[in-house]
Amino acid sequence: MTFQAPKGVKEYVPPQASTFYAIRGKFAETARLAGYAYLETAVFEDTQLFARGVGESTDVVSKEMYTFTDRGGRSLTLRPEFTAGVLRAVLEYGLHRGQLPVKVWTDGPVFRAEAPQEGRYRQFYQLDLEAIGSEDPAVDAETIALAWQWYTALGLTQVRLMLNSLGCAECRPIYRARLQEFLRGLDLDEPTRARIEINPLRVLDDKRPEVRAQLDDAPLIGDHLCAACKTYHCQVKQLLADLGIPWEDAPRLVRGLDYYTRTTFEFDHPLLGAQSGIGGGGRYDGLSEAIGGPRLPGIGFGLGLDRTVIALEREGVALDVPPRCEVYGVALGDEAARSMFKLVSELRAAGVAADMAFGGKGLKGAMKGADRSGAAFALILGERDLAAEVAQVKDLATAEQAEVPLSQVVDVLKGKVK
């Protein structure tokens, strides 16, 4: 077979896929306990949703989107991020007409055409959480806290929270003008100079060393916040402190998308090297109007599943993943195989992860399968056992074996594995 996954596509296969699945499950429970409902959104959207929402000057829109024309001549784009699509769905289905904030979460693949490297892929996976319809520092703190609690529940101990405020429509223009004045005096290429006029904050997010070396004396947004934004930011930090969540002030943190306002944050992990960001987000109070909706403030985040998996590996954290198989059935003979098939089904119905040897394997080959399955117990059934209406239950760790009446097999094994 000569086919392979496309370059830059991250796939998960057993056993690593079990970790991938487990961390999603922990997030689902974290979100549920905080009143967030699951939302499933389209994988591709009208291209203009991202152009207007994310911002045409961003690298995401200008360089990284997978855009195509469908058979009807419509320009569509594979989602490069979740927030714009989630907000579109909230507006389309009228969720904002009910209780506010609308609290939803989702997950799945996201697509960006960038150079593949460890932790950065063209198809990658994110967990996304959004609280839409409220402008309250407590909502900001809750959003950040849920991500922090999830990282902590996974067992990660080296995650750092970077925190900043990007101001509002009142104070941002003043800072924007000061920043443009500073940037125009630097030695920058023409595309970057053009960006100064469109969205100068994006220059601060430039990763090229030759650009970053010139930004040391750039004015900081924190020095230009209006009184309302200063108060708001202090309240967010105080609420985080009340929860015992540590943060680091990151005055140059602007993130990569145009829609962010006020609270902006990023989670870093030092063991991931240059690609240390493992998640982040912020407030986007003007995004709804940008895509044609009513004023609807919101805040959310996207957490990278791929980078979280790497962070767990780097810290040596092994999650408590439910076993793929707890009981493995070994049947000797056709009649025994029929009975075993029914027993395995009954075990599953009782909540026991069960599998069995297929294909008429002999005892030696079937027991090898039992060892490879990771099961704690083997359930052995031969023709002689059938006649006596019993089965053999073998503890694969101790090799101890006991005879159990067929009528009690499910209850006995359920008790042993639970």
Q: Can you say which residues are annotated as belonging to the binding site for L-histidine?
A: 81-83, 112, 126, 130, 255, 259-260
Token match 């024309």: residue? 69
Give 364's Cβ-side CA count (13 Å radius). 0
Q: Which helix (H) or strand (E) holds 45?
A: strand 44-46
Q: Half-sphere exposure of residue 299, counting CA atoms within 13 Å on the CB side?
A: 24
Contact criterion met (CB below 8 Å) for 118 and 275: yes
What does DSSP assign to residue 407? G
Helix ranges (H only) for 219-375 are 227-242, 287-290, 305-315, 334-349, 363-373
**Are 126 and 20 in contact, with CB atoms under 8 Å apart?**
no
The per-residue DSSP string of 97-148 comes to: GSSSSEEEEEEEEEE-----BTTB-SEEEEEEEEEES---HHHHHHHHHHHH
Four-residue CA torsion sign, 31, 37, 40, 42 = negative
Whether the CB-CB separation of 54 and 258 falls below 8 Å is answered with yes
Of the candidates 264, 282, 296, which has an alpha carbon nearest to the alpha carbon of residue 134?
296
244: region left, alpha or beta (phi > 0 left; psi from -120 to 50 alpha): left
Please count the other Cβ atoms lying within 10 Å of the Cβ belonging to residue 98.
8
* Cis peptide leading into residue 101 (ω within 30°): yes
